[in-house]
A and B are shown apart, each in its own frame.
Chain A
């Protein structure tokens, strides 16, 4: 038996941080989610799989556009026309009312657990290999209960768990996506557990296999690297599963780092950036660049590297239509202050950068905008804020220092 495990297609999903791109380029990029999905379906057909598992978040929202629904319908029909079984669940993004979806009307398409209750689906491959898929769909954006406990014992046949969920974390507010522990799933001892929700492809357990296939197409710089699907080949006697990742995303996101240890001319800066990006550029890539030692940048260079026109200009030297789309600056040196003051400032830094203090500072903002409240919950955002503050102060203190030195 062969089956495909795909998740988090996020059709209709917008892309972050690309608004500066020329519209034709952006158009091409925005099509990548659908292209990736089509490629996944092509792969399923090419590999002649028996079953396709769709582990939720196929659509980016509960209001998918007709265009994406019709697209999905068309693509799924390609599978069901070939009598390939499709079992799908809904995730926290696409917790749609099934009645309101344009779903393929065929026995080869199964929407599992559409009432948010764990459901079993039993079927056989063309080779008469019997299997069961167990899972549930979201009907709300959050599921805080322990769904694993609702999963039945593994069946006699090849049993697959299908779930859209996030592992239990210490941060409570994150435990709203059917939180689980790997141990719990392992205890179920299913032959395979296909997970969706986390966009980073990862294997939580080798035996039994508990796998996130990751999303189909990265949509921002935090979704880096190859994106695609797993083709799982089952040894029908031992029921052991072989994983084979197939990349489907036409465009990847990638980070690159430039480290400065001294001041640098603008020409050299440009040359070095292009060099670093070119090294990593093997397919169409949207690059994020971290400049370590950003304090060495002059005021002018600092402005330049923040300028999206500069990014576009740089990108013209890159193959595969790859683009630099984001620059992070990092100050890799302590503040240039007198020892006594430095101590005071170091202490001030740790005090000021305390999360609660930051939240207190941002309180007025958070109150005004849910979005801001949400991003403030993201540690990476807080880090970016801190890094930016460090770069800013470092830059200024360097200037003060220069002033003092030059005096």
Chain B
């Protein structure tokens, strides 16, 4: 093992031309502050790895600059091992690289640098500083210690490019961490695991598709059955409803039936008796009529036979011949009267003056005779011709004036008329004087003495007088006859009560009276017969009446009308019975029910209402069920065509596939990371695990057993004896320095076989109390057995504790 045996400083910091010879195990430098202890430490490091000029930044040795005004700066280190002696001398002069110029010689032969540096695994300055130099500044960095750093440093001794491998290892590890964290949510694997759980839930729900389908199917079947049931019920209800409707119709009939039944009465009626009674009745009626007629007949006969004035009538009738004689006599008289009257009339016509005279009294007539005689004498000059002529002229003139068209003729007419008129007037005046005495005669007797021939007249008057007498005689006769006839008629009247005008009337009356008498005679003869007959009938009637009353009694009626009534009743009952029977036949099946219903007909209506309500309900149910069925079928259809289950399952599979891929990636990363770590472990001869073991041991030792474990993970933690774990920042300064020592010393111990460089401890125990110092001393003594240790201290007690002669570094004068 290589040892640093000599430090030779030509110029370095405050040191100038100093040489230290070192023990191969433990060397202690004792010097006051600012004596150059730290400068010596810096010298060793900088000769090995190059000077740090002001511009070349380094965390630790900044203050130990080469003195560029002194030339040359630097010095040499002498290492010895079994192969010989290496001398590393590094000098810096102006113009040199800032690191200075290193010369390496082995057994006084200059050799390439790497002959030396290969032996220390080509570590760089910072590695050396970090691992081999202990000072106050470094100790404070204990918080910054990490597994990574320590591992990197330790693996550095194993595989080549170990730092890159470590980077790779960390990269893979980090990649793995990105994919999955034990208690994370964001990494994809964590997400996928959760998503798969969720998707399983979804699938579990979707799983029920078949169950749903079957449930729907079952429900559908049930509902279809239900539907069928309800439909059947509906049919029943409809039937029921119809039945009730029918019953309601029948109820009317039934009511009638009931009414009719109420009208039924027991009628005791014998048709035979009735017929018999009727026959008897009819017989009685006939008999009664017969009797009446007979009695009438009898009365009539009696009346006619009891003609009171029969004799008188007979007497009257006996006058018939006389009457007939009267008739002819009357006729004869009449004729004679007529003839006389005719004669008189013809006188009047032809001899009116005679008639006139006849009518005068005889004295008058005598006077007339006298007067006439007187007048006869004067009567000669009297002419009436001009008067008549004038009238004719007047008339003819007027006619021609009016009727003839010829003007001349008219004029002539008028002239003639005027002439006539004049003549007339003249005539008149002449006649007037002559007839004065005639006029007086006429006025006295109405006879124109100019006309009459009084003597002839007197004959005529005698004639007339005779005729008048005859007539008077005849009139007397006739009046006598009429008196007689009238008397007879008077006699006749009481019997006929009729006015008679003519003889024929009288004869007729007499004839009828004769007939009356004849009839009367006949009637009297007939009367007995009728009376007998009547009696017979009356007897029969009496018998029949008894029979009838017997029948009535038997039939308990008082009379026939009553019997008839009963008969009618009986017939009505018969009709009733027929009707009832017909109704009964009609209602028969429902009779019992109807009887019940009839007691409470409202109930039937209520029933019907209820049934109709039920029908409506059922109908609604059916509709609902139809709708429900359609819905179910639709749902089933949807399910039957659903690939949701497949989709969800596929989604799960996709997630699982993704998870599988990511897990593969995760595991591959993790494996690769572990593979590299393991490879480095193996390549580095498993120094790291060993180091950790040692560090624990040292820490335990340094803390007097108070701490039992060190956990090097991302963060450094320590475990106290009582099991409590602490982060490094919560440790006391002393304890944390002890931890640092333990780790670093363990590390150096592990790498000592590969990097045989001395450990430089520069006043690192300032803060250690006596007890701890004691521990560290023990540790250092132990460590020095394996690797070379240089201690730089100002503490005499430490030197004393180590029981050895120190190298004294004196302050420059």
Q: Determine which of B212, B667, B682 lies in contact with A385 in the assembled complex, contact meaning CB atoms within 8 Å.
A: B667
The answer to whether the Cβ of B312 comes within 8 Å of any Cβ in the partner chain is no
* Contact status of A369 and B659, CB under 8 A, knowing A344-B158, A352-B671, A384-B664: yes
Cross-chain contact A15 with B659 (CB below 8 angstroms) = no
Q: Could you say which of A16, A18, A65 contacts B645, with CB atoms under 8 Å apart?
A: A65
Within 8 A of A (CB), among B146-204: 158-161, 164-165, 168, 171-172, 180, 182, 189-190, 193, 196
Q: Which residue of A lies closest to B159 (CB)?
A: A341
Q: Contact check, B666 vs A12: say whether CB atoms are below 8 A apart.
A: no
The answer to whether A362 has its CB under 8 Å from any CB of chain B is yes
A65 touching B678 in the complex, CB below 8 Å, given contacts A345-B683, A353-B671, A365-B666: no
Residue A83 CB within 8 A of the other chain: no
Choose among B210, B663, B666, B675 the residue that contacts A100 (Cβ–Cβ < 8 A): B210
Whether A183 sits at the interface, judged by CB under 8 Å, is no
Which of A16, A66, A353, A368 is close to B209, meaning CB atoms less than 8 Å apart? A66
> A87 to B277, alpha carbons, bound, how many Å?
105
- Can you name the residue of chain A whose Cβ is closest to the Cβ of B216? A66
> Which residues from A are CB-within-8-Å of B196?
369, 371
CA distance A60 to B683 in the complex (A): 51
B664 with A63: CB separation less than 8 A:
no
> Cβ of B193 and Cβ of A386 under 8 Å apart?
no
A332-354 to B contact mask, C-beta < 8 Å, 1/0: 00000110110111011101110
A337 to B683, CA, bound (A): 11
A17 within 8 A of B: yes
CA distance A63 to B645 in the complex (A): 9
Residues in chain B near residue A13, CB distance under 8 A: 649
Residues B158 and A30 in contact, CB atoms below 8 Å apart: no
Stretch touching chain A among B292-300, B382-390, B553-561, B634-642: B634-642
In the bound assembly, the distance between CA atoms of A63 and B160 in angstroms comes to 59
Given A63-B645, A65-B646, A100-B210, the answer on whether A340 and B683 have CB atoms closer than 8 Å is yes
Of the stretches B104-112, B608-616, B621-629, B650-658, the one at the interface is B650-658
Find the A residue at minimum CB distance from B660: A375
Is A268 an interface residue, CB under 8 A from the partner?
no
Task: Report chain B residues within 8 Å CB of A404.
Answer: 161
Which residues of the partner chain A approach B671 to less than 8 Å between Cβ atoms?
352-353, 358, 361, 385-386, 389
Q: Which B-chain residue is minimally distant from A366 (CB atoms)?
A: B663
Looking at the complex, which of A134-142, A156-164, A206-214, A392-400 is the stretch in contact with chain B? A392-400
* 0 or 1 for each of B200-226: is its CB under 8 Å from A? (1 = yes): 000000111111111000000000000
Q: Is B681's beta carbon under 8 Å from chain A?
A: yes
C-alpha spacing A381/B667, complex, angstroms: 11
Task: Assess whether B676 is interfacial by the CB under 8 Å rule.
Answer: yes
Select one of B212, B672, B682 contacting A347, CB under 8 A. Answer: B682
Which residues of B lie under 8 Å from residue A65 when comparing CB positions?
Answer: 209-210, 639, 642-646
Q: Are A388 and B158 in contact (CB under 8 A)?
A: no
- Chain B residues within 8 Å of A70, by CB: 640
- Minimal Cβ-Cβ distance residue in A for B182: A364
Q: How far is the CA of A372 from the CA of B670 in the complex (A)?
A: 15
The B interface, classified by DSSP as helix, strand, loop or mixed, is helix
- B564 — which chain A residues lie within 8 A by C-beta? none
> Is B659 a contact of A371 with CB atoms below 8 Å?
yes
Q: Are A372 and B193 in contact, CB atoms less than 8 angstroms apart?
A: yes
- Is residue B573 contacting chain A, with contact meaning CB distance below 8 A? no
A14 contacts chain B at the CB level, 8 A cutoff: yes
Please indicate the chain B residues that have their CB under 8 angstroms from the CB of A364 in the complex.
180, 182
Q: Is B666 in contact with A341, judged by CB distance below 8 angstroms? A: no
Distance to closest chain B CB from A144 (angstroms): 25
Interface bin, chain B: 35 or more
Most interface-central of A16, A67, A358 (chain B CB within 10 A): A67
Smallest distance from the beta carbon of B164 to chain A beta carbons, Å? 5
Min CB–CB distance A327 → chain B (angstroms): 11
B180 touches A365 (CB 8 A): yes
Beta-carbon contact of A372 and B663 below 8 Å: yes
C-alpha spacing A351/B652, complex, angstroms:
35
CA distance A248 to B433 in the complex (A): 189
**8 Å CB contact of B675 from A60, A340, A345, A365:** A345
B665 contacts chain A at the CB level, 8 A cutoff: yes
Cα separation A290 to B667 with both chains bound (whole Å):
20
For A357, the chain B residues whose CB sits under 8 A away are 674
Establish whether residues B657 and A16, one from each chain, have CB atoms under 8 Å apart when the complex forms.
yes
Residues of B within 8 A of A68 (CB): 646
Interface readout for A124-157 with B: 1 if CB under 8 Å, 0 if not?
0000000000000000000000000000000000
Q: Are B653 and A389 closer than 8 Å at their CB atoms?
A: no
Given A381-B664, A388-B665, A400-B161, the answer on whether A344 and B683 have CB atoms closer than 8 Å is yes
B419 at the interface (CB under 8 A from A): no
Identity of the chain A residue whose Cβ is nearest the Cβ of B678 in the assembled complex:
A348
Does B668 belong to the interface (CB within 8 Å)? yes
Q: Is the CB of B159 within 8 A of A392?
A: no
Most buried by A among B159, B209, B659, B683: B683
Report if A28 contacts B (CB, 8 A).
Answer: no
Contact B193–A368 (Cβ < 8 Å): yes
- Which single residue of chain A is at the shortest CB-CB distance from B656? A371
Q: Contact check: which of B180, B190, B682 meets A348 at CB < 8 Å?
A: B682
Is the beta-carbon distance between A348 and B211 smaller than 8 angstroms? no
Task: Flag if A385 contacts B668 (CB, 8 Å).
Answer: yes
Q: Which residue of B lies closest to A396 (CB)?
A: B168
Is residue B38 within 8 Å, beta carbon to beta carbon, of the partner chain? Answer: no
Asked whether A392 and B668 contact (CB < 8 A) given A63-B207, A344-B158, the answer is: yes
Could you tell me if A64 and B160 are in contact, using CB atoms closer than 8 angstroms?
no
User: In the docked arrangement, what's the CA distance between A176 and B171, Å?
Assistant: 41
Choice from A64, A341, A375 contacting B210 with Cβ under 8 Å: A64
Q: For residue A343, which residues in chain B have a CB less than 8 angstroms away from its CB?
A: 682
Whether A171 sits at the interface, judged by CB under 8 Å, is no
B669 an interface residue at 8 Å Cβ cutoff? Answer: yes
The answer to whether A337 and B159 have CB atoms under 8 Å apart is yes
With A63-B207, A341-B159, A341-B683 as given contacts, are A389 and B672 in contact (CB-CB < 8 Å)? yes
B458 CB → nearest A CB, Å: 174
Is B679 an interface residue when CB atoms closer than 8 A count as contact?
A: yes
Which residues of A have CB within 8 Å of B676?
345, 348, 393
Pairwise interchain contact B667-A361, C-beta atoms closer than 8 A: yes
B210 and A63: CB pair below 8 A?
Answer: yes
Query: Which chain A residue lies CB-closest to B192?
Result: A369
- What is the distance, in angstroms, from A351's C-beta to the closest C-beta of chain B? 6
Given known contacts A14-B653, A66-B213, A375-B663, A348 and B679 CB-to-CB distance under 8 angstroms: yes
**Minimal beta-carbon separation of A407 from chain B (angstroms):** 11
Most chain A C-beta atoms within 10 Å of own C-beta, residue among B657, B665, B672: B672
Kindly identify which residue among B642, B645, B654, B683 contacts A19, using a CB–CB cutoff of 8 Å.
B654
Complex alpha-carbon distance, A343 and B639, angstroms: 62
Point out the residue from B164, B190, B641, B679 that lies within 8 Å of A344, measured CB to CB. B679
Given known pairs A70-B640, A347-B682, A393-B675, the reply for A341 and B160 (CB within 8 Å) is yes
Q: Which residues of chain B from 267 to 319 have a CB within 8 Å of any chain A CB? A: none
By a CB distance below 8 angstroms, the chain B residues around A362 are 663, 667
CB pairs A–B below 8 angstroms (17 shown): A16-B653, A19-B657, A19-B658, A30-B646, A65-B210, A65-B644, A65-B645, A66-B210, A67-B643, A69-B210, A70-B640, A361-B670, A365-B189, A371-B196, A371-B660, A389-B667, A392-B668
Chain B interface (Cβ < 8 Å from any Cβ of A): 158-161, 164-165, 168, 171-172, 180, 182, 189-190, 193, 196, 206-214, 636, 639-646, 649-650, 652-654, 656-660, 663-672, 674-683
Which residues of A approach B to under 8 Å, CB–CB? Answer: 12-19, 30, 60-61, 63-70, 100, 102, 337-338, 340-341, 343-345, 347-349, 351-353, 357-358, 361-362, 364-365, 368-369, 371-372, 375, 381, 384-386, 388-389, 392-393, 396, 400, 403-404
Q: Which 4 A-B pairs have the closest CB atoms?
A: A14-B653, A348-B678, A63-B207, A344-B682
Q: A345-B679, A352-B675, A372-B659 are in contact. List 19 more A-B contacts (CB 8 A).
A: A12-B646, A13-B649, A14-B646, A15-B653, A30-B646, A63-B209, A65-B209, A65-B639, A65-B642, A67-B639, A100-B214, A102-B214, A340-B159, A340-B683, A341-B158, A345-B675, A365-B663, A365-B666, A389-B675
